[in-house]
Amino acid sequence: MKTTIIGLGLIGGSIAIDLRKGGVATRLLGVELNEAHAKRALAIGLVDEVLPLEEAVRQSDLVITAIPVNSIRTILLKVLDLAGDNTIVIDTGSTKSQICKAVQQHGKRAQFVAAHPIAGTENSGPDAAFSGLFRNKTNIICEPESSSAKAIEVADLVFSALEMRTIHMDPVEHDKHVAYVSHLSHVSSFLLGRTVLDIEQDEKNIFNLAGSGFASTVRLAKSSPDMWAPIFEQNAEYLSQALLEYIMHLQKFQYYLMKRDVKELHRIMTDANRIRKVLEGIELKQQTKQLIEK
């Protein structure tokens, strides 16, 4: 399939690599407003050509959007307007309610698939892209009943080439759950970074005292504000709820700390230890897939 990728960063670039590798994309067109990124994506061969949006979409069998979620709505409606009757359009943004609502009434809604392939690193731009970013991860498709059978078939081809497992979810449920499981951990990490930088004016102290635990917890604070600010805005209601719950837990902990109520602190931490089981499940999921591959 002649494929257009809109947005040649970590996500778009990694999709391009694996769609070419998997034989799904026979020719790859890129749309990228950042000129330096466009040049770099061509130089490292992520796409064969960088074209203006209109030109790229008109000649494509498949269009995938991988841009910050605040731009998706506008771009998406434009892409659907331009799309031929056989062109399939897939969006990969991290929030889904507003996007699903925006396209609901569009005449070509059936040619569209609302997806969220859950993967990423704290790096961004074309140079951050790599083959295997999505391997063994979960892809969410929202409102599959609004997509045509052909559109779902093409999406299956795409996400199989990325080696993902696809599940379905209501867009509102999706946004609510990712607020807790993904967006909250990013906010907690960003602000942990901020707090520590605020206090430790002398960065040498952080450098000297940081163990691997600190590095791991604060890793997401390196993430791209350009990508995350729009996600947080679009998911403001649920993320705000999640943040308030998190703050409440922190305040309770601080209260018991000031009371020197070690028993209660111990109980809270023991309860949090249950996350071990969940994390082991995640690791197991990865390992099982790797074993099958061998």
Give the contact letters, 58-77, x = binds to its own copies (CB under 8 A), - = no. ------------x-------
Q: Which of residues 93-122 bind its own copies (CB under 8 A)?
A: 118-122
Burial of 56 (0-12, 13-18, 19+ CB in 10 A): buried
Residue 42 interacts with its own copies (CB under 8 A): yes or no: no
Site for its own copies (CB under 8 A): which residue of 211, 291, 292, 293? Answer: 211
Q: Which of residues 127-186 bind its own copies (CB under 8 A)?
A: 137-138, 140, 167, 177-178, 180-182, 184-186
Site for its own copies (CB under 8 A): which residue of 86, 105, 201, 208? Answer: 208
* Nearer to its own copies (CB atom), residue 7 or residue 230: 230
* Nearer to its own copies (CB atom), residue 11 or residue 161: 11
With CB under 8 A, what is the number of residues at the site for its own copies?
Answer: 95
Site for its own copies (CB under 8 A): which residue of 39, 101, 203, 288? Answer: 203
Residue 230 interacts with its own copies (CB under 8 A): yes or no: yes
